[in-house]
Amino acid sequence: MTTASASSHLNKTVRQQYMSLPQGGKCQVTYIWIDNNGQDLHSKTRTLETEPKSIEEIPEWSFCEICRFQQDQKFYREMFLIPACMFRDPFTLDPNKLVLCEVLKNDRLPSETNHRMGCKKVMDQVKEHQIWFGMEQEYTLLGMDGHPFGWPQWGFPAPQGPYHCGVGADKAVGRDIVDCHYKACLYAGIRICGANAEAMQSQWEFQVGPCEGIEMGDQLWVARFLLHRVCEDFGVLATLDPKPVEGNWNGAGGHMNVSTKQMREEGGLQYIEQAIEKLSKRHKEHIKVYDPHGGQDNVRRLTGHHETANINKFTAGVADRFASIRIPLQVSHDNKGYFEDRRPAANCDPYLVTKAIASTCLLDDVEQVRGC
């Protein structure tokens, strides 16, 4: 079986010879957008005459989207790419840029999987609360054969236990990828704040935040793009599948940490508890938007085992990693801070998750949650 892609074996020294050539004052801009399945990412690059100083200097573009329906039928439609936010490009380096785009249909309405517009509307409504988010993005490295990277070809590694934050060739598999992704995020301007090996071998996590409002979704989607691009260079895959290996192995989540201005001030724990009470009444609505398939992905992960709550029951507790909502021990001690929603799946759309949390906790608006 082949564990790495053919392109990863190309001579990178030869590539570097060309990458170091001057660009004649021009700028490469890579447009990034979310696929119509709500999970995959796409990109393409164009040349601008000068380096853009702001997102307003990036022109709109378009692409041809393939839409599938039923088994073998498909149709094509032109879609607009609307630049939303800009980052430095860690692959082709300065002055080149990465630009995350919203996708609009030809009537200028958002595409079916463009949830940024709705999220921004809610974030603008709750701006006075200065809501911060921090996301813990878990993922699993796979070989090109779909088998977890570094696992025995015909079996399983040793049981879980030593892999979490582990060190050593028998525990940490793929650290080169993690380190390169971390550096790429820092160069790009992503607010990456940490990374660590997770409970299952070949499973890792990075954290992004704190980000205020709409920035959480923007930063997380670009961080995911960078992860896939780094993995591309190494010839392996990064999957956000919430349960990539069945059996006695941890799934992969997208835990969302949440804090408002009131929660961060003295006595803020009371506002955390009020938010949790509101979330308890919207559990089913949140589950439906915490993975791309209306909760069906999370059914495999939220079993009440492997550091998860049961998908059918809302729970909350201090330092309880088997609860739907966890109040960190330090927050309980300080009487202020943030709470962690452990229900979102690794493949969740952060725009939907943050919109739902803000709508429930600050607007008490169930229609905004359902309307995600």
DSSP of 237-276: EEE--SSSS-SSS---BEEEEEE-HHHHSTTTHHHHHHHH
Q: Which of 165, 231, 171, 178 is nearest to 5 (CA)?
A: 231
Question: Is the dihedral angle over the CA atoms 169, 174, 177, 178 positive or is it negative?
Answer: negative
CB 128 within 8 A of CB 361: no
Residue 307 has a pLDDT of 94
Q: Which of 122, 137, 120, 114 is nearest to 361 (CA)?
A: 122
Q: What is the distance between the alpha carbons of residues 326 and 257, in angstroms, rounded to a whole number?
A: 9
Average pLDDT over residues 257-278: 98
Least confident range from 10-14, 46-50, 86-90, 298-302: namely 10-14
Q: What is the distance between the alpha carbons of residues 41 and 44, in angstroms, rounded to a whole number?
A: 11
Q: Is the pLDDT of residue 58 over 60?
A: yes
Buried b (16+ CB within 10 A) or exposed e, 140-155: bbbbbeebbbbbeeee
CB 202 within 8 A of CB 178: no
Q: Which of 216, 221, 254 is nearest to 358 (CA)?
A: 216
Q: Which of 278, 283, 291, 279 is nearest to 344 (CA)?
A: 291
Q: What is the distance between the alpha carbons of residues 98 and 30, in angstroms, rounded to a whole number?
A: 5
Residue 71 has a pLDDT of 58
Residue 65 has a pLDDT of 80
Q: What is the distance between the alpha carbons of residues 336 and 49, in angstroms, rounded to a whole number?
A: 50
pLDDT tens-place string over residues 281-335 = 999 999 999 999 999 999 999 999 999 999 999 999 999 999 999 999 999 999 9
Domain boundaries, the chain: 24-113, 123-370
Instruction: Assign 3-state DSSP to the chain and report helix, strand, coil percentages, each to 5.
Output: 30, 25, 40
Residue 66 pLDDT level (bands cut at 50, 70, 90): confident
Which class does domain 123-370 fall in? alpha beta
Report the chain's mean pLDDT, rounded to a whole number. 94
Residue 248 has a pLDDT of 94
Whole-number Cα distances in Å, 73 to 5, 70, 106, 112, 242? 30, 6, 21, 19, 29
CB 256 within 8 A of CB 351: no
Both structure tokens of 163: 């892999």
DSSP state of 9: G
State which fold the 24-113 domain adopts.
Ubiquitin-like (UB roll) (3.10.20)
Residue 153 has a pLDDT of 86
User: At 146, is the secondary structure helix, strand, or coil?
Assistant: coil
The identity of residue 249, as a single letter, is W
Q: What is the distance between the alpha carbons of residues 12 and 59, in angstroms, rounded to a whole number?
A: 32
Q: What is the distance between the alpha carbons of residues 72 and 178, in angstroms, rounded to a whole number?
A: 38
pLDDT tens-place string over residues 213-262 = 999 999 999 999 999 999 999 999 999 999 999 999 999 999 999 999 99
Residue 154 pLDDT level (bands cut at 50, 70, 90): confident
Residue 67 pLDDT level (bands cut at 50, 70, 90): low
DSSP string computed for 292-313: TTTTHHHHHH-BS-SS--BTT-
Backbone φ/ψ region at 252: left (φ over 0), alpha (ψ -120 to 50), beta: beta
User: At 4, is the secondary structure helix, strand, or coil?
Assistant: coil
Average pLDDT over residues 45-58: 98
Residue 292 has a pLDDT of 94
